Amino acid sequence: MKLVTFEAAGRRGIGVLKNELIIDLTAAGLASSMRELISAGPEALEAAARIESPILSITNARLLAPIPDPQKVVAIGLNYMDHIREQNIASVPTNPIVFAKFPSSIIGPDEAIEFDPKLTNQVDWEAELGVIIGKRARRVSRDEALSYVFGYTPLNDVSARDLQFGDKQWVRGKSLDTFCPIGPAITTADEIPNPQALRICSRVNGAMMQNSTTAEMIFPVDELVAYLSNAFTLEPGDIIATGTPDGVGVFRNPKVFLQNGDRVEIEIEKLGVLSNPVRTIG
């Protein structure tokens, strides 16, 4: 299933996306938010699959971030071999590099990535596979880790490189408001039996910038869930941003950064296309 959070006729709801139609799970009385649906467990997901009405057209709704309010967004740095190669890094990480993006940075499809040029003028894109946790995970083994995954979504780990490298740590430069677009939908884990076999790409104004596969991950999804859960509890609805492949702007020659009026697309095989315009503010 593809699950969405939407706004229509002045109200917010969640639904199942089927082609150009949304089966309104909130109007059907199942759940009012994606976190509520996820927390309700497998029985709620099975019930969602059986609901057939009410239905609304996607043209009469605005898709929002599929899960706009996770407790945390845990991100992983330097997790693709091709991204390591483009930086000429001699040693491959032996453990995941973990940082955080503030949930307040989340936006949905077609919402604007905004930045103040007085604060940063080196805004970069990063196509990433977003992993949505489905149940509380604490000290999970790698063998059972994928059973804790609710689903997957395209994610853009937007990064202010001048802040990121100037601060000598990554949180501020990756957590500016609007710097975590996700969506358009969560594809449930049953439809993605192997998250390490997905094409992943990014485009800026239609030009291909990144074109890779999740097989390039150094630490795959199951290992990340196990590693993180052995450090801190992962809650239902938490998001893991699993790293980006090569082709980001800061390592191009010459460097390329996002400008006012650009449009960024993140596409992941079987998950869809996340598209956002870029706008300067201030």
| In a shared domain, residues 105 and 193 | yes
Total domain count, the chain: 2
Domain of 216 in residue numbering reads as: 73-280
Quick: pLDDT tens for 135-188: 999 999 999 999 999 999 999 999 999 999 999 899 999 999 999 999 999 999
What average pLDDT is seen over the chain?
Answer: 97
Q: Does residue 89 have a pLDDT over 90?
A: no
Boundary residue ending a domain (64, 85, 118): 64
| In a shared domain, residues 49 and 14 | yes
pTM for the model: 0.97
| In a shared domain, residues 134 and 190 | yes
| In a shared domain, residues 7 and 134 | no
CA distance 183 to 42: 22
CA distance 141 to 139: 7
Q: 91: domain CATH number?
A: 3.90.850.10
Pair 158, 113: CB distance under 8 Å: yes
Q: Which two tokens stand for residue 167?
A: 């601060």
Question: What is the per-residue DSSP string for 75-90?
Answer: EEES-BHHHHHHTT-S
Spatial CA neighbour of 113 closest among 266, 268, 267, 11 = 266
| In a shared domain, residues 16 and 136 | no
Q: Does residue 90 have a pLDDT over 90?
A: no
Q: Does residue 88 have a pLDDT over 90?
A: no
